Structure 1
Amino acid sequence: MGNFNTIQAAKRRRWKSVDLMTNKNPTNATHEGIKIVNADNRCDFSTSSDLCICIVTWNMNGKHSVGGCGGIIGRKKGAVAMRINYKGIRMVFISCHLSAHARNVEERNSQCRHISHSVFSKHRSPYSRPDQVTIWLGDLNYRIQGIKTFPARNLIKKDLHKLLTGKDQLLQEAERGQIFNGYCEGTLTFKPTYKYNVGSSNYDTSYKVRVPSWTDRILFKIEDPKEINATLHCYESLDDIYSSDHKPVRAHLCLKLSR
């Protein structure tokens, strides 16, 4: 079943054509940003796909932590990766918890690059074949910025939260060419998943009064669409779960090898 890698986020990361170790893009580099895709109807697990994957990310807001990956990317923050080969589809899953707070955008960007370098380092075995599918999920902790909490909540209350996507740090940083080159994400049709009062679907009423944000995300990347066709069948939050200040996010992705 391929290799299993537990990673501790290295200190540098190199993309294919962008020098992100210095946060600078060479003039001839291109960055696709994050491609937004619409979710198709729910999959019926038909034989038309070689593999259907249900992916869930949820920050359970537990009282205990397994540690901070040696302190490299921060206390109580870290990442884990797993490689799987299923029916000839070579996949890597990356789950991470990045630094909190709206002001720490560059720190999160750096952590993404560190994690990526650990997983996709050129120092991997020369006998290993490149991954065809990458699925990256977790509490990425990118926030909504440029709007105060109560105007943002009013938009959400009126089901106008799609207007907040233009203020989403993750999409902004990808568009700037800093992170997630060539990844895809479903349309953010669901409400921001953080921060809730535990035990309810009411946004934070503590003294912190956080701006609601889509901190919990699932991204995927197909290295060669000519080899593998990917269909996203759902991308949604699970709003009926109340035991955390985050709402879980679920995606349903189906893959088919081109033959």
Structure 2
Amino acid sequence: MWPRLVASKILGKRLGSSNFVADFPSLDPPSSSPDTIFSNHKATHNYRVFVSTWNVGGVAPPEDLDMKELLDTGNTSCEIYVLGFQEIVPLSASNVLGSDDNKISTKWNSLIRRALNNKKTGDKIHQHSNEEGKLSNDEKSSNSIPGQDFRCIISKQMVGILISVWVRSYLCPYIRCPSVSCIGCGIMGCLGNKGSVSVRFRLHETSFCFVCSHLASGGRQGDEKLRNSNVSEIFSRTNFPRGPSLDLPRKILDHDRVVFLGDLNYRISLPESSVRLLVDARDWNPLLENDQLRMELVNGELKGWHEGTIAFAPTYKYRPNSDVYYGCFHQSKKGEKKRAPAWCDRIIWYGTGLKQYVYTRGEENFSDHRPVKAIFTAQVGVLHSLKQFQSFFVSEKFDRITSQTDDFVCKRRSSFPI
């Protein structure tokens, strides 16, 4: 136990750091006023949320990588984008001990910014607003409609795990109390080569929590228990601040909208030869019936969570830069470990208020994993203040309505006999 305790003391502060990178380092909640205190008119808005997870196998993104294909920006338009990555840096002693090198995460964020804002060249995350609150030239060129460009509200790296959250800029004033919580579950049960980075924020009156995880690996019988243990630790050890009004949830499952994504590493409980034959035949049903994560969703550590229909090929394990699974009979080498294909990369959600429309995989192939992506609509509670109603009554729109009403009343009156 003592190595684990010592490591926890040394690394706890670094792995659990509440610092994160964002375009807006501090998003302070609006101050209370009589207008908000007496507000009681609540409406529901639906926002589209894109979520993806990708284990990139310790390979830095190529210079010519076009993230638009993964984000599908040409065919879909969402208000919130959440991208999770695993193994963004190669596994090494310095990385496991919590290296602060964020060059790779900066590169990934630059590629995301370029794709979302349709830029020709990437740039680093920086604060966009100037003293006058005007858009920079880069933003003006990236999107002709004010408020439609994307800003990063949270980007956090723990060793090889990275999560990056982007929203349309018109939503930024309604984002409150963003925070992060990092849990290491790796070597000695606490180092950051495995574990989770969870992010939380409130949009209008609804709290969101996204958990990006990399769970214990291994395809032997019983290895799924290690993954279940990781999940249990992530749920029990993750804590968020209560917020300035002490009204925000601290635990993952207490949030209104919760999504769990990552290389969850659950395998298929069948002999390797059977798995490969079924994969070659694209017969998914027998494979899914023996999928370890599906078993946990029905009656296990993740009971009560939801996952969309899987209608795509297993995402692990490929030979990099190819469409061939690692260890295939006709391409395996002598002494080479054979890892059976599996749906290691998953996106699941908890509770109500989320409806999934897309669940599929991407085909980028420089890693031994394929990325997985999902699109949801999320219900968000929006509180309309008295101030908003007051502004309507003094607006030009209200003047037009009342003038039209006056004209109608006058005409009706003129037709009445006196």
Partner of 1:209: 338
Work out which of the residue numbers 243, 263, 269 in structure 2 matches 1:139. Answer: 263
Work out which of the residue numbers 227, 234, 244 in structure 1 matches 2:358. Answer: 234
Q: Say if 1:115 and 1:252 are closer, same or farther in 2 by CA, change over 3 A.
A: same
Distance (whole Å) between structure 2 residues aligned to residue 92 and residue 250 of structure 1: 17
Partner of 1:163: 286
Work out which of the residue numbers 219, 224, 229 in structure 2 matches 1:102. Answer: 219
* Mapped contact 1:83–1:90 kept (Cα < 8 A): yes
Partner of 1:58: 54
- Alignment of 1:199 onto 2:321: yes
- Alignment of 1:67 onto 2:63: no
Distance (whole Å) between structure 2 residues aligned to residue 157 and residue 74 of structure 1: 38
DSSP-derived class of the 1:112 partner: helix
What's the TM-score, normalizing by structure 2?
A: 0.45
Q: Structure 2: which amino acid aligns with 1:127? A: D
Q: How far off its partner does 1:153 sit?
A: 1.9
Distance (whole Å) between structure 2 residues aligned to residue 235 and residue 157 of structure 1: 21
Deviations 1:88-111 (A, max 9, x none): 221111001111112311111011
Q: Once structures 1 and 2 are overlaid, which stretch shifts more, 194-203 or 83-92?
A: 83-92
| Greater C-alpha Rg | 2
Structure 2: gaps (5+ residues): 1-13, 17-43, 59-88, 98-183, 383-418
Distance (whole Å) between structure 2 residues aligned to residue 138 and residue 165 of structure 1: 18
- Alignment of 1:218 onto 2:337: no
Partner of 1:87: 204
Deviations 1:171-220 (A, max 9, x none): 1233333x123211111111111011111111112421211101000011
Q: Which structure has the highest helix share of the two?
A: 2
Q: Say if 1:198 and 1:232 are closer, same or farther in 2 by CA, change over 3 A.
A: same
Work out which of the residue numbers 161, 174, 186 in structure 1 matches 2:297. Answer: 174
DSSP-derived class of the 1:50 partner: strand
DSSP-derived class of the 1:105 partner: helix
* Mapped contact 1:235–1:249 kept (Cα < 8 A): yes
Q: Say if 1:258 and 1:81 are closer, same or farther in 2 by CA, change over 3 A.
A: closer
- Alignment of 1:114 onto 2:269: no
Q: Structure 2: which amino acid aligns with 1:57? A: T
Deviations 1:214-237 (A, max 9, x none): 100001112xx3xx3x22111011
* Mapped contact 1:162–1:188 kept (Cα < 8 A): no
Answer 1 or 2: higher relative contact order, Cα 8 Å, separation at least 6. 1
Q: Structure 2: which amino acid aligns with 1:67? A: V
Deviations 1:53-73 (A, max 9, x none): 111100000052443737435
Percentage of pairs with the same residue: 30
Partner of 1:186: 308
Q: How far off its partner does 1:74 sit?
A: 5.5
What's the TM-score, normalizing by structure 1?
A: 0.71
Q: Say if 1:73 and 1:191 are closer, same or farther in 2 by CA, change over 3 A.
A: farther
Q: Once structures 1 and 2 are overlaid, which stretch shifts more, 92-101 or 67-76?
A: 67-76
Distance (whole Å) between structure 2 residues aligned to residue 124 and residue 73 of structure 1: 24
- Alignment of 1:127 onto 2:244: no
DSSP-derived class of the 2:341 partner: coil
Q: Once structures 1 and 2 are overlaid, which stretch shifts more, 128-137 or 51-60?
A: 128-137
DSSP-derived class of the 1:252 partner: strand
Q: Say if 1:162 and 1:73 are closer, same or farther in 2 by CA, change over 3 A.
A: farther
Q: Structure 2: which amino acid aligns with 1:192? A: P
Partner of 2:167: none
Q: Once structures 1 and 2 are overlaid, which stretch shifts more, 191-200 or 125-134?
A: 125-134
Deviations 1:128-154 (A, max 9, x none): 244101111000101011222x32222
* Mapped contact 2:216–2:265 kept (Cα < 8 A): yes
Q: How far off its partner does 1:127 sit?
A: 3.5
